[in-house]
Structure formats: C-alpha cells, structure tokens
C-alpha cells in the first residue's frame, strides 16, 4: 500500500530505529501510527476513517487488522508476524537517542481493561507523563504470578541502556518482591520500591520497630541503612526511606540500594506519573478502553502502535513546551503545575504538522530535575555499620 508523503518521516525513523521489523511490517506500523496521530485516537474505525484518502475503507481496515494478527490467523496464513518483544529494547534505545539527561526513571505497574485483560507495563517517566517501553498482556481474572514476566521484561530492556546512565526503577507495594528487587540490582539499576508500612526494621543493639514508627509525626522523614523483614529468609540490608508528608494518609516506606545521602526522599512521588500515562493510553488520549480486541498478542501489537505514537507526541509536546525557553540544562520540576499536559501540547503541535503549518518536531527529550525535599520536612539520617551476619545481604 502506498503511504502518504506526510507520514514518510515516521516511516524513515521506524526503518532506522526498528530494524527487527521486515519492510512490510515497518510500512504497516508507519501507517498505523500516522492514522492514530491523524485521528488522535487508537480506535480502529476512526483511524480507518482518518485514512480514507489513502485507500478504500474496507481495504484499509483489512490491511490494518492483518498487521495485528499472528501469522497463522492471517487471510493468507504464514510463519511471520510482528514480534513485539523484539521491539522493546530498540524502542527504549530510540527514546534514549534524544535523551538529554544522565538519569532515567522507570516505573513498573499493571493496568487493566475491566475484567478482560491485564497489562504489566514498564514505562519511562517524563514530564508528568509516562511512555510504555515494555509490556506483557495477560487475560484478566486468571491466576498467575506477575513477577516472572516482569523479570523477563527487565532483562529485555537491559541492553538498550548505555553505561553512565543512572536508572531508577519505581514500583508500588503491590509488586514488592525480593526477586524483583535483586533483579533490578543485578542489572546495576537502582530499585526504589514501596513496601507495607508495618515492615519490621532492625536497628543497632537489637532494637526493632515497625517502619512507620520511625516518623511518628507529619512532615518527617527517616533515611538510613537497616535490616528489614521479620522472616530470616527474606531479610535484606538496604537503605530505608520513611516519609510522612501532610498530603499522605500514612507514611511511605521505601527500599532502595542508593546511599542515604544520595537518594531523594520525594523521588518515589514520580511513580504517580505512570497513572497519567495510563490515562493517556485510555480516555485522555488513545481510547484503549474502547477496544474490542481480547487476544493478548494482538493487543500487544496494538500497544506497540500506541507507544510509537506516544513517543512522537511527547517529542512534539517537548518542542511546544520549551518554545522560547532560553536557559540550558534540565528544566525545574513542574509536577501538578501544568495547565495543559505535555501530551496534549504534543497532539496540538502534530495537528499543525499535518496541516502543514509547522515542520516535524525533533525527537528530543529533556527531563525535568528530580524533586527536592520541602524545607518544612525534618530529615533524620541513620547510618550504622553493615551487619556482621553476611546472610542478611542481598545476592
């Protein structure tokens, strides 16, 4: 199928950044992404309607559906289909090719489509939004562990991250696992994982307390090296961060391997951005919640379309948000202070591109500075020596 000239920049970038795809698969992905950006939704019928100048409606719909199917399910069965997992590392490498920071913040979280599907997602956090770079789609309401697929996703992304880039990996307490913590450390990345508030903390001279008791009042933080967990088999020697701010119903209890004086007590708050990213995938952006697809492999390929489209949108939003900015270096954190999200700005900028009112934006990403503590927070640092029993140390 002949692609419109306006989407040639998309096709050219896909050809360079996703060489794992066959040329015909690259063409299909470029047309899908262009259609999503033109229609500003991921809904198939509206994408096809937006592309009716390219080919007849039924021809387009069949072409786009074929791209999502397994080889055996195509009209002409074959042995080839889009391998989504092979695209995860190149997708992250694509993002990092325009990354202007020495730090990368990832978040891990699931999202659901009612009771039908569950997506385990690793996303890059960027300017109060999130860009999915790896995902695993599961049928909903079926028993099964999340940790094994997440370990595979982390290992898949590892080759894409260059040395010298500090990577923080944030996860909520529902995903806490010593296996996940150790896998992140094994990749020389830095976990920052929330755990239950009453986890047992073992301090010097045999003292032990529930973690939340270390910050008995609002606007307090406790940061230090300690042994955590009551069960001997699960004990870890970690940096513990306990933070209780006025806007929190209860203290955050976080585990990391960063030194106490290095970790930021408010960094975990960035994890909330992945929820904003899910809203962009759903009703505030690509309308994924309206999909009628239920086959996990087809949904995973549709997510690849939405992820590549989101990459272009965030790049365009960066250009729009930074227009006229004269200072160099990372911009200050603006969490909760944007009247319009960088995602919505990007959609508006791409409308102007398709109307030939401005050129395609550069694929450039300038993350904000990491948040710093409020001056009203009292921080207590605790730095005892390592435990004598080496069995406490994580492998």
For 162-208, what is each residue's pLDDT tens digit? 999 999 999 999 999 999 999 999 999 999 999 999 999 988 766 88
Amino acid 140: pLDDT: 86
Transcribe 224-238 into DSSP letters.
Answer: EEEEE-SSGGG-EEE
Amino acid 235: pLDDT: 76
Domains and CATH numbers, the chain: 1-82 (no CATH), 83-194+266-323+331-341+361-395 (3.30.420.10)
- Nearest residue to 292 (alpha-carbon basis) of 42, 110, 81: 42
Amino acid 207: pLDDT: 80
Which residues, 6+ apart, have CB-to-CB distance to 115 below 8 Å?
140, 141
Residue 207 class from Cβ within 10 Å (0-12 exposed, 13-18 middle, 19+ buried)?
A: exposed
CA distance 272 to 266: 12
Low-confidence ranges of the chain (pLDDT < 70): 205-206, 230, 232-233, 335-336, 384-395
- Nearest residue to 96 (alpha-carbon basis) of 191, 7, 167, 19: 167
Amino acid 145: pLDDT: 81
């Amino acid at each position: 199928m002949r692609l419109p000239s306006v989407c040639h920049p998309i096709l050219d970038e896909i050809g360079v950044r996703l060489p794992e795809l066959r040329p015909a698969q690259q063409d299909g992905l470029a047309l899908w992404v262009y259609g999503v950006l033109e229609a500003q939704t991921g809904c198939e019928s509206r994408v096809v309607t937006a592309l009716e100048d390219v080919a007849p409606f039924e021809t387009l719909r069949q072409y786009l559906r074929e791209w999502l199917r397994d080889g055996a399910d195509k009209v002409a069965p074959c042995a080839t289909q889009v391998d989504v997992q092979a695209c995860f590392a190149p997708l992250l490498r694509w993002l990092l090719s325009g990354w202007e920071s020495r730090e990368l913040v990832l978040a891990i979280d699931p999202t659901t489509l009612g009771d039908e599907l569950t997506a385990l997602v690793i996303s890059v956090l960027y300017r109060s939004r999130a860009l999915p770079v790896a995902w695993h789609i599961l049928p909903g309401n079926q028993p099964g562990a999340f940790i094994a697929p997440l370990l595979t996703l982390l290992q898949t992304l590892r080759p894409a991250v260059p040395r010298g880039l500090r990577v923080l990996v944030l996860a909520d307490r529902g995903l806490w696992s010593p296996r996940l913590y150790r896998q992140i450390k094994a990749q020389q990345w830095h976990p920052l994982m929330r755990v239950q508030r009453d986890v047992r903390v073992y301090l010097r001279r045999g003292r032990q307390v529930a973690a939340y008791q270390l910050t008995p009042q609002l606007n307090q933080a406790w940061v230090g090296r300690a042994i955590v967990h009551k069960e001997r088999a699960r004990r870890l020697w970690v940096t513990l961060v306990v933070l209780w701010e006025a806007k929190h119903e209860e203290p955050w209890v976080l585990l990391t391997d960063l030194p106490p004086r290095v970790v930021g007590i408010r960094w975990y708050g960035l994890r909330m951005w992945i929820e904003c990213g899910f809203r962009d995938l759903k009703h505030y952006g690509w309308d994924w919640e309206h999909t009628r697809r239920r086959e996990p492999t087809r949904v995973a390929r549709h997510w690849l379309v939405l992820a590549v489209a989101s990459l272009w949108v965030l790049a365009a939003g960066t250009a729009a948000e930074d227009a006229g900015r004269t200072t160099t270096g990372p911009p200050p954190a603006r969490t909760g202070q944007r009247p319009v999200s960088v995602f919505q700005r990007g959609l508006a900028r791409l409308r102007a591109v398709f109307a030939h009112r401005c050129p395609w934006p550069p694929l450039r990403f300038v993350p904000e500075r990491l948040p710093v503590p409020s001056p009203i927070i009292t921080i207590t640092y605790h730095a005892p020596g390592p435990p004598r029993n080496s069995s406490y140390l994580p492998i």
